[in-house]
A and B are shown apart, each in its own frame.
Chain A
Amino acid sequence: MKAVCWHGTNDVRVDNVPDPTILNPRDAILKVTATTICGSDLHIYDGYIPSMVPGDIIGHEFIGEIVETGREVKKLKRGDRVVVSSMVSCGQCRYCQHQEWSLCDNSNPKGALQEPLFGFSTSGIYGYSHLFGGYAGAQAEYVRIPFADYGAVKIPDGLTDEQALPISDAFPTGFMGADLCDIKRGDIIAVWGCGPVGQFTIRSAYMLGAERVIAIDRVPERLKMAREQSGAETINYEEVDAGEALKEMTGGRGPDACIDAVGLEAHGMGFMGAYDEVKQAVKLSLDRPHVIRQMILACRKGGTLSIMGVYAGFLDKMPMGAAFNKGLTFKMGQMFGQKYMPMLLDRAVKGEIDPSFVFTHQMPLDQASQAYETFKHKKDNCIKVVLKP
């Protein structure tokens, strides 16, 4: 089959590889009908995720049709059209049973690699480095789905591929970002990043009762989508100081919660931005915490920081004193896909949202390397690309 393989920084290729097979009794094999590139894939593409090995198949946001099931798969059968969570989760451990699916104890076959770094191991993620299990990814014609009964959710009739696809990853991530803010009547929520995850975060914050949502980015077409399709007020952080603007726009109080939908490659402004970039370039410090720093200062006292943008390693120059003295709450994590997916499918079926609005481009899987370049550099106003195997 054809699969998108990582060969090094800024180097992904469509290779011919053997078809996946059932390796464990709870596995299923999925024929991928649509997949997409996530901002998290850009962190791999740009070389910031450790423990990638050349030849690794990448991709974790996808839908498809079940073509084979292992003997212990009970809920799914051949022919089912499903959307699959990017998190591989066992469904049986205490974390899974408490809906904390990305914290699964049992789905990471290389958990021992993570322990020295994280203290404990987390769930596996499709196509997301050996630290996260080394599972073959889904930017491919076929993919193996471990613990299929707990990862794949049937797509209800009436939803197109493009409508169901973001429910694999970007939409539940945005929803969780908003959910972690415990939104109350009158709350104003600020969202950093207007990529696909940011767009879904804005929409979800409104679904959960936010009074106003203010979104921050610098890419004009993304800010436009945030305004016109997601209904946010926007700040272009290249034109004004985002912190000051937020204060003025919130009656001098600051937002009640701040959500990071940017992650470790945050583009920084001014001296600290330059400092971060130099450090990252020479690998002194892995992640650029520009957004988190700004959120700590901008957030109202006693407010919540919800971090959905991915961080992989260490942060430098964190204004801990400000966070501490303002009594902020930090919440974060890889998303709990399986917790939200059935509810999000339901909202899509009811027409509360058409999740396909984030897609601006469609390309064949064969053109994956162009698709990565287009998405990374936001060429041709790209916001999200559907890849069709």
Chain B
Amino acid sequence: METESDKTNQSQSQGDATVSDTERWASIVGGSAMVLMGLKQRSLRGILTAIAGGSLAYHGATTDKSLQEKVTDATGINKAIKVEKTVTINRSAEDLYNYWHNFENLPTFMKHVKSVQVLDLRRSHWVANAPMGQTIEWNADLINDQPNQLIAWASEEGAEVDNSGFVRFQPAPGDRGTEVKVVMEYNVPGGMLTATIAKLFGEEPEQQIGDELRRFKQLMETGEIATTEGQSRGQ
């Protein structure tokens, strides 16, 4: 299994998008190219925040960096792990968006997520399983919400694993259903590497998101998730 590829690149987090190139980022996030190719040197969180702008903006992320963030940016020890995965699902963008937007549905196909509790219109509380019976918890903020098109989120300050990302729904050409793209970024302090994230979640981030999208597709197209767990076999 590949551990690192173009899609799981570890690049330096170099601050956030400025207003001037917000439009360019918006077109990258909304376009058909591979998002991570345009994102090599930038922080996803910053870009998502810049695009969201206005009312839904993540509190202060564009300007008010925490002291720690400023230090890690300056010293360049803050490594980001970025993952991008896309799948085409034979359902309308509306159906897929609606299912996903009900965050409490997500543990159905996100195996490592134990529960998601919606706190208010913007905030939700996530509990994920980690190996050896441990759990990791964090609060996430909805930073951009475009009905039937895009949902973007970022963990609130102080999360054990700082993460942000978006899921995008776009009609596929020729009645092929909807292209669902997930892009995620994990910012972990002190140069924590993919392997450490894998230890926290029990799987490489890229593998995990690939598996989640595969199960999401199975669930949305067929109504169930294919399994052999619990079947009989010889000794």
Binding site for B on A (CB under 8 A): 1, 3, 5, 7, 13, 15, 17-21, 23-26, 54-57, 72, 90-94, 97, 105-112, 115-116, 121, 124, 133-136, 144, 146-147
Contact = CB atoms under 8 A, between A and B. Distances in A.
Interface of B: 1-2, 88, 90, 176-177, 207, 210-211, 214, 217-218, 221-235
B229 A23 contact: yes
30 contacts: A3-B232, A3-B234, A19-B232, A20-B232, A23-B227, A24-B225, A24-B226, A26-B222, A55-B234, A57-B232, A90-B221, A92-B221, A92-B222, A93-B90, A93-B222, A97-B90, A105-B217, A105-B221, A106-B222, A108-B226, A109-B225, A112-B210, A116-B1, A116-B2, A121-B214, A133-B226, A136-B228, A136-B231, A136-B232, A147-B222
Contact of B233 (A91, A93, A108, A136): A136
A93 B227 CA distance: 17
Nearest to B87: A105
A57 B1 CA distance: 27
Nearest to B233: A55
Nearest to A88: B226
A56 B233 contact: yes
B226 A107 contact: yes
Contacts of B227: 23-24, 109
B88 to A, nearest CB: 8
Contact of A23 (B207, B214, B218, B230): B230
Max chain B C-beta neighbours (<10 A), residue from A94, A106, A112, A134: A106
Contacts of A57: 232-234
Contacts of A135: 228, 231
Given A94-B177, A111-B214, A112-B214, A106 B231 contact: no
B221 A93 contact: yes
B211 A133 contact: no
A109 B227 CA distance: 5
A112 B226 contact: no
The 3 closest A-B pairs by CB, nearest first: A5-B234, A15-B234, A55-B234
A26 B217 contact: no
A282 B232 CA distance: 34
